[in-house]
Structure 1
Amino acid sequence: MDPAPDALLGELFARSPDLLFIASAAGALLHGSGGLREALGPEVGSGTPLADLAHPDDRAALSAAWSSLLQTDAPVSFDVRLRDGCGVYRPMSCSVSRSSSDRDAVLGSLRPAPAIAQEELKTLRLKARILDALAEHVDPMTIWVLDDDGIYVYHQGKAVAKAGLKPGQFEGRSILDLYADTMDAAQLRQWYDGQVRRGRGEAHGADWDNWLVPLRSEPGGRVDGVLGVSLDVSDSRLVENELRIQLDQIAAQQKVIRDLSTPIIEVWDGVLTLPMVGTVDSVRTAEVMDSLLAKIVETRASFAILDLTGVEVVDTRVASHLIQLVTAIRLLGADGIVAGIKPNVAQTMVALGLDLTQLNTQRNLRAALNYAIRAMTRAQGASLAASPAPPRNPAP
């Protein structure tokens, strides 16, 4: 008599080297093939929950995959680490589908996950060593990584202690809970848009220069993590502020020196003089123009004397500025006088080919003052002559 088909199928299942199983809809292993018992232990198939064999970190993913299986008739595949008979967790690829004849039964198979190539494993270990070395030795830096939900999965670095924290203190905690006062969910999701970001921020009593780099599980895939590199720049910020203060002080001192080197003096009522000493450059000439024109308007001066007695050298641009300054003085209703021009300065001004016919020049400051006083005296005399004579008193 031929053996019954069910008996033959049972014997085939028991002797199969493949990792096959039948489970309940709740996830309990009811029957396991010979290969499965050899791989995971003889107790497999006696109602052991599959979740009890899974690595604790993989149980949530296993539960999600199993729930998806119960909601569809399509096969479901997932990766999971299962504990073998020696207590070692082995990476497995699992494929499951619901039985069409018994809806409370699940048919499944396991196969070892593809082993990582030796060179790839060496590369991964090298990258891990590099990351740990950077975190351990580069000062002052903190390296941190967020998963897809904004949970810290890595938080190390020499700057962690400087911020009053312990290495790994944030791991397993949400960045939204830790920084609820300064960040919300919408801001966090912007970090997962694939853009590299850099910015400055203040936290834990320190100033930070932050780099945010998107992470992907596979090239071209979606962003499922964020790498953060934070540099404590508090010391450099202090140096930067001190340097800025010093530069401001130097600028203020230079302004005082320039003001002292080009004082605008009211030597007579309506007569201003500007003695210029040393090297005259374009910047200094521009500042002189602004100051002198403002002083003319303020004092309602009639004459402004530019005393170049102490100036040895001017360049072509400065000579052009001086002529423009005299023209601007005339536009304000005053007379601009240039006194004390040295021979080499005069040659420079002539070489420019500028129109010097309307330029009022005097030999020295004394001559310029005499010219201004005489001109003012003549103007006052003409004003008196033009005014009507007072009426004579009638004869007694």
Structure 2
Amino acid sequence: MEAASNALLGEFFARCPDPLFVASADGALLRGSDALRQVVGAAALDGARLPELAHPDDREALSAAWSRVLGADAPVSFVVRLRDAGGAYQRMACSARRSSDGGAVFGSLRAAPEVVPELAGEEQKTLRLKARLLDEMAEHMDSIAVWSLDGEGVFTYHRGRGLAKSGLKPGQYLGSSVFELHAREPETAAEMRRLYDGEVRRFRSESHGVHWDNWIIPLRDQPGERAHGLLGVSVDVSESRLVENELRIQLDQIAAQQKVIRDLSTPIIEVWDGVLTLPMVGTVDSVRTAEVMDSLLSQIVEKRASFAILDLTGVEVVDTKVASHLIELITAIRLLGADGIVAGIKPTVAQTMVALGLDLSQLNTQRNLRAALNYAIRSMSRAKGASPDAPSAPRPSPNERA
């Protein structure tokens, strides 16, 4: 008979459609119906106490109501916000009565509508809709985590599928103090306190290999007053960060390749002791000319060159700005104590340089690279006084003689 009664009682708790519970006098849940498990989660029935499941702001009121239950021999009804299986707080209407010996409490729960007396019906609907939208967003968006703190730094909301990426469970911090969690990190705790007096803050962080884009929003009723809570929203941006890093690597590779191409297209060659030549081929633009100027001047100083030959044989067209840069380059070469020679100027390039109206009287030009090299070697031979140790200069061909 007793076994049958126990089986019937077990089936009652399993099949009863209402959230029912049996609790000890101190509020520890001893047994609950399957409907209650669906409300607060199975883990909450493993010896959890109702005050632990209650919203921090409701715990004092719950304690007072629980005292009334234990002190009366009649049912006592009250409303309390309890943490559900997803970590959110739900308003629940509780009806409870103590056992005859006062050692236990029997109770039932049902959903209690959010009632804000000063709000009209449509405003209440809007408020409930907003709360539901937040819950749905946190529940179904893989890359988001949402949390909120009350004025004392206690977590009142902690949801989002993105939490798992940081090794956390939804609702794990509910009822916990953010300041206690960071007790060993005084700088972090101090920064969290300052946020209550600050403005909206956005920053990026990394946790468990996940990159987060974070917003922390102070919640205040009037501008300028201390916030009565904080809202935090974190979005997983790891994928976009990965794409950004890959793009940066590709851009760096392209830049390096372009530098190699430019170096190959404008090689500075020491064709003779003290004579540098720079053959330029293809299109000459302002960027390339500036790079050539830096490289050539550095080589002149490093090798102590006396002559620098700019071979424009392979250049068909230059714009007016580049032509002006070439004149400046020749002037800079002279300031370093060397002589700049321009060789192989094409007719189109010559026309451009003349059209600029620049003073070309001091510009040393030769018809080709051989003539320019011949000029440089002869000049160095004359400077040495044609000593026996001086290298013999090649004799110019009749077409190269002035």
The amino acid of 1:364's aligned partner reads N
SS in 1 for 2:229: strand
Aligned to 1:207: 211
- Which segment is superposed worse, 240-249 or 55-64? 55-64
Whether the 8 Å contact between 2:279 and 2:310 is mirrored in structure 1 is yes
SS in 2 for 1:87: strand
Task: Tell me the CA shift for residue 176 of structure 1.
Answer: 2.5
**Structure 2 Cα separation of the partners of residues 166 and 56 of structure 1:** 19
The amino acid of 1:138's aligned partner reads M
**Structure 1 Cα separation of the partners of residues 316 and 224 of structure 2:** 70
Compare CA radii of gyration and give the structure with the larger one: 1
2:352 to 344, 348, 354: 348
Whether the 8 Å contact between 2:165 and 2:208 is mirrored in structure 1 is no
**Structure 2 Cα separation of the partners of residues 227 and 213 of structure 1:** 5
What does the per-residue CA deviation read over 1:59-78, in whole Å, with 9 as the maximum and x for residues that have no partner? 637999xxxxxxxxxxxxxx
Could you tell me the TM-score, scaled by structure 1's length? 0.67
The amino acid of 2:192's aligned partner reads L
Task: Tell me the CA shift for residue 192 of structure 1.
Answer: 0.7
Aligned to 1:87: 77
Task: Tell me the CA shift for residue 227 of structure 1.
Answer: 0.7
Task: Tell me the CA shift for residue 164 of structure 1.
Answer: 2.3
1:246 has 2:228 as partner? no
**Structure 2 Cα separation of the partners of residues 226 and 119 of structure 1:** 27
Aligned to 1:51: none
What does the per-residue CA deviation read over 1:40-76, in whole Å, with 9 as the maximum and x for residues that have no partner? xxxxxxxxxxxxxxx9954637999xxxxxxxxxxxx
1:120 to 111, 123, 135: 123
Give 5+ residue unaligned stretches, structure 2: 1-54, 65-73, 81-114, 389-402
SS in 1 for 2:197: coil
Task: Tell me the CA shift for residue 236 of structure 1.
Answer: 2.2
The structure-2 alpha-carbon separation of the partners of 1:222 and 1:180, relative to structure 1 and needing over 3 Å to count, comes to closer
Could you tell me the TM-score, scaled by structure 2's length? 0.66
- The alignment covers a number of residue pairs equal to 290
Whether the 8 Å contact between 2:197 and 2:225 is mirrored in structure 1 is no
1:137 to 140, 149, 157: 140
What does the per-residue CA deviation read over 1:67-113, in whole Å, with 9 as the maximum and x for residues that have no partner? xxxxxxxxxxxxxxxxx9772549xxxxxxxxxxxxxxxxxxxxx98
1:264 has 2:254 as partner? no
What does the per-residue CA deviation read over 1:320-364, in whole Å, with 9 as the maximum and x for residues that have no partner? 111000001011111100011111111111111111110111111
The structure-2 alpha-carbon separation of the partners of 1:62 and 1:140, relative to structure 1 and needing over 3 Å to count, comes to closer
Aligned to 2:381: 377
The amino acid of 1:310's aligned partner reads G
**Could you say what the CA RMSD is over the residues aligned between the two structures, in angstroms?**
2.7
1:291 has 2:295 as partner? yes
The structure-2 alpha-carbon separation of the partners of 1:186 and 1:88, relative to structure 1 and needing over 3 Å to count, comes to closer
Task: Tell me the CA shift for residue 239 of structure 1.
Answer: 2.3
Q: Summarize the alignment of residues 73-84 of structure 1 with structure 2, pairs less than 5 Å apart.
A: none
SS in 2 for 1:172: coil
**Structure 2 Cα separation of the partners of residues 190 and 221 of structure 1:** 13
Q: Summarize the alignment of residues 299-378 of structure 1 with structure 2, pairs less than 5 Å apart.
A: 299-378=303-382
Aligned to 2:171: 168
**Structure 2 Cα separation of the partners of residues 113 and 260 of structure 1:** 77
- Which segment is superposed worse, 208-217 or 267-276? 208-217
The amino acid of 2:300's aligned partner reads I
**Structure 2 Cα separation of the partners of residues 122 and 307 of structure 1:** 81
1:282 has 2:289 as partner? no
Task: Tell me the CA shift for residue 372 of structure 1.
Answer: 1.1
What does the per-residue CA deviation read over 1:240-279, in whole Å, with 9 as the maximum and x for residues that have no partner? 2222222222211211111111000000111110000111
1:155 has 2:145 as partner? no
What does the per-residue CA deviation read over 1:90-145, in whole Å, with 9 as the maximum and x for residues that have no partner? 9xxxxxxxxxxxxxxxxxxxxx9845310110110121122112212333111111
SS in 2 for 1:226: strand
**Structure 2 Cα separation of the partners of residues 85 and 121 of structure 1:** 30
**Structure 1 Cα separation of the partners of residues 116 and 233 of structure 2:** 33
Aligned to 1:60: 60
Identity percentage of aligned residues: 74
**Structure 1 Cα separation of the partners of residues 366 and 183 of structure 2:** 76
**Structure 2 Cα separation of the partners of residues 309 and 334 of structure 1:** 22
SS in 2 for 1:173: coil
Aligned to 1:178: 181
Give 5+ residue unaligned stretches, structure 1: 1-54, 65-83, 91-111, 385-396
What does the per-residue CA deviation read over 1:14-33, in whole Å, with 9 as the maximum and x for residues that have no partner? xxxxxxxxxxxxxxxxxxxx
Task: Tell me the CA shift for residue 189 of structure 1.
Answer: 1.4
SS in 2 for 1:313: coil
The structure-2 alpha-carbon separation of the partners of 1:57 and 1:214, relative to structure 1 and needing over 3 Å to count, comes to closer
**Structure 2 Cα separation of the partners of residues 349 and 273 of structure 1:** 21
**Structure 2 Cα separation of the partners of residues 180 and 342 of structure 1:** 77
The structure-2 alpha-carbon separation of the partners of 1:234 and 1:89, relative to structure 1 and needing over 3 Å to count, comes to closer
Aligned to 1:235: 239
The amino acid of 1:148's aligned partner reads G
